[in-house]
Amino acid sequence: MKPEAIQQLYTDTEEMLALQETGYVRQARQVIKLDTAQYTDEAQFSLEKERIFKRIPLMLAASCELNEPGAYKTMDIAGIPVLLVRGKDGEARAFLNSCTHRASPVAKGCGKAARFTCPYHGWSFGREGNLIGIASREDFGDIDPDEHGLTRFPVQEQSGLIWAILDPDAPADFSAFLGDFAEMLGGFGFENWHFGKRTVLEGTNWKLAFDAHLEFYHLPVLHRDTFGPEMGNVAQYQYHGPHFRLRHMGKRGEPTGFDNLSRLHGLPREEWPMEPLFSGEWILFPNVSINSFFQGGRGVILSQVIPGKTVGESVTIQTYLHETPQNDEERTAADELVSFIAHVVRDEDLPMSQDQQHILRSGYQKFVQFGRNEGGLQHFHRWVEHCVSADEARPLEQLVAAAPDLP
């Protein structure tokens, strides 16, 4: 990590410790209202796909998911089929998952391959995206293979995470939007972690599905049978450009089992262990959350909420990563954790968002409200509107410089 990122980690932590000691919980300035068309309007959804998901850097995978040359992963993001693969040179690349002959996908799922062969006519491509084989080439006709490789998207691998901009013509401008926040994540050391398990859950509008990651107000109510009705519902927020961190606090502002900052109380800064500095939930705009857990050893669940084909569809991908190799006991404990979190999202969060979507589609509820205790929601939706309303030609650096006001 860069020195400024380390300094920011310490600054954030000192701020949280001070808030815990006083019991003070920061709140947004006011309650705000959001037009429900933000969740139901197809025109709005089209703008989100064009001006968010095809424009700004998206975190697509952890580096350890592509842990060796030839390892690959396919995704469909807002209607764009994507192929991620690690080349022989160790570089991670992202391509349009489409044969340049007749637009058939060249890969499905995840795995390892030396080459990617189109299942329709047999054209084949190398792990670097180059066209290396044309079936019956003498019959097909004369084309230049160098001009017919897979369509490539700009990619950056940073802090053990792989980011891409899903516009092949976009400049590879990642630092402006990621800022020091992505650099701070480097302290996890994800590039040396291990891939554990992936769960895919179908849901409704991507913003409704993601909203549940951005506040703890609902924990003791919606999740009373899983986390318990005594669970506190307060979050502390720390904003970093479009991204932010939130930490769970008890009913009177005290730390809880979700946050291990209490280990630092009374210790001089030079004696702080690093692990608590990364506690809490990390929100990567526009659609990723990273939560730390310690069941089965230190691990994280990385949740990606991906827009679907229509305004009312999304997919949540939960990827479990663990810091060190696991023995059988740890693996069992981690499997139980992953199943539990999947249950919470699949059987509690997503059905609630489906009920919300059904009501919002009726057209009779004109707005939803975000309270002063839901600053993360206010911040997220301001950034969505900021990105959607900005001129498409505006550089990302200018987009960030004109950031909306904090809650």
User: Tens-of-pLDDT digits for all 407 residues of the chain?
Assistant: 888 888 999 999 999 888 888 888 999 999 999 999 999 999 999 999 999 999 999 999 999 999 999 999 999 999 999 999 999 999 999 999 999 999 999 999 999 999 999 999 999 999 999 999 999 988 999 999 999 999 999 999 999 999 999 999 999 989 999 999 999 999 999 999 999 999 999 999 999 999 999 999 999 999 999 988 888 899 999 999 999 999 987 544 444 445 567 788 889 998 998 888 998 899 999 999 999 999 999 999 999 999 999 999 999 999 999 999 999 999 999 999 999 999 999 999 999 999 999 999 999 999 999 999 999 999 999 999 999 999 888 889 999 999 999 99
SS3 assignment, position 115: strand
181 and 248 co-located in one domain: yes
Read off the CATH number of the domain in which 210 is found: 3.90.380.10
Judge whether 216 and 246 are in contact, CB under 8 Å.
Answer: yes
The residue out of 106, 140, 172 marking a domain boundary is: 172
In a domain, 282, yes or no: yes
Q: Whole-angstrom Cα distance, residue 236 to residue 374?
A: 10
Q: What is the C-alpha to C-alpha distance for residues 91 and 35, in angstroms, rounded to an integer?
A: 43
Q: For residue 240, give the H/E element and its range.
A: strand 234-240
Cross-strand partners of 300: 292, 321
Domain end, chosen from 172, 201, 218, is at 172
Residue 251: predicted pLDDT: 46
Same domain, 66 and 53: no
Taking the model in full, what pTM does it have? 0.95
Q: How many structural domains compose the chain?
A: 2
Residue type, 231: M
Euclidean distance between CA atoms 95 and 100, whole angstroms: 11
Q: Please list the residues that pair with 221 across neighbouring strands.
A: none
Kindly report the backbone phi and psi dihedral angles of residue 157, in degrees, each rounded to the nearest multiple of 5, phi listed first: -105, 120
Find out whether 4 and 181 touch, Cβ atoms under 8 Å: no
Residues of the domain holding 120: 58-172
In a domain, 407, yes or no: no
CATH of the domain at 129: 2.102.10.10
Looking at residue 292, its amino acid is S
On whether both 206 and 254 belong to a single domain, the answer is yes
124 and 265 housed in the same domain: no
Do 223 and 238 reside in the same domain of the chain? yes
Question: CA–CA separation, 100 vs 288, rounded Å?
Answer: 31
Residue after which a domain boundary falls, among 115, 148, 172: 172
